[in-house]
Structure 1
Amino acid sequence: MPRGASATPTGATPSADEGPAHDVRNEVRLCGRLSAPAEERTLPSGDVIVTLRIVIPRPEPTRRSGSPDGGSRPGQVDTIDVVCWSAGTRRAALRLDAGATIEIAGALRRRFFATPSGRQSRYEVEARTVRRPGRRRVSGT
């Protein structure tokens, strides 16, 4: 196709899955409290991972929240599982103390695994960076 030419006919609008008009991304940013010390595990494949759990308080409810139950109740939290694959994020996670405030950036993943009762799945965040707020970022790459 010549430079400057468009694959979309003149006057037509691009579909949702074409080009920059549709910005697809899987980005998660979390800031919360580490519920317990991170745990290192060796998988059957020989890969080493570090897992941790971050607890994030939900915002106080508002009357205009728009949710069917009127918003979250005071004191509710979300507990999110995080997995660290890279050496940098594994080291950073293992240095954190339980109760520390931490920031995680990464992507949401759905993991499938076998159990005695059958195949199951779980969502978790695959960490790209792990850090304490106000400290230098430790990248996973």
Structure 2
Amino acid sequence: MSSNNPNEVRLVGRVSAAPETRALPSGDQLCLGRLVVPRPETRILPSGRKAPSVDVIDLTGWSARARRSMSAWSPGDEVEVTGALRRRFYRAGGSTASRVEVEVTTARRLRRAASG
């Protein structure tokens, strides 16, 4: 990455479901997606074999460019995103909750999902 932004992440993974575009009451639009990113094999199973694991990362696309790119994805596509890690707070069931997501700056499909 060429940016001097200390809060910049780059992820490569597979799209878990078709991204969803939402219109907010303010009139703003955003695109929501989820990325499955493989981890290095570090867990050891009882059999002694290493088990692969993944991280599932929520993505938000606010810019028109990010929304356009993300909305073209299909489940299983391999994609690359860059953006900033954000922690969002919200009210749920009478208490405050939070979640971490990547606010997407750039998004591109690297490989289409194999069609079945």
Q: Pick the TM interval, shorter chain.
A: 0.7 to 0.9
Does the CA contact (< 8 Å) of 2:43 and 2:51 recur in 1? no
Does the CA contact (< 8 Å) of 2:38 and 2:53 recur in 1? yes
Distance (whole Å) between structure 2 residues aligned to residue 74 and residue 43 of structure 1: 41
Amino acid at match of 2:16: S
Runs (4+) off by over 4 Å: none
Does the CA contact (< 8 Å) of 2:42 and 2:52 recur in 1? no
1:132 matched residue in structure 2? 109
Instruction: Report which structure shows greater RCO (CA 8 Å, sep ≥6).
Output: 2
If the length of structure 2 is used for normalisation, what is the TM-score? 0.81
Instruction: Measure how far apart 1:32 and its partner are.
Output: 0.3
Q: 1:122 aligns with which of 71, 81, 99?
A: 99
Percent identity at matched positions?
47
Which of the pair has more CA radius of gyration?
Answer: 1
The alignment status of 1:37 with 2:18, answered yes or no, reads yes
Structure 1 unaligned regions, length at least 5: 1-22, 64-72, 135-141
Structure 2 unaligned regions, length at least 5: 45-49, 112-116
1:12 matched residue in structure 2? none
Does the CA contact (< 8 Å) of 2:12 and 2:81 recur in 1? yes
Aligned residues: 103
Written as runs of structure 1 = structure 2, the 5 A alignment for 1:1-141 is: 25-61=6-42, 74-133=51-110
Distance (whole Å) between structure 2 residues aligned to residue 79 and residue 96 of structure 1: 16
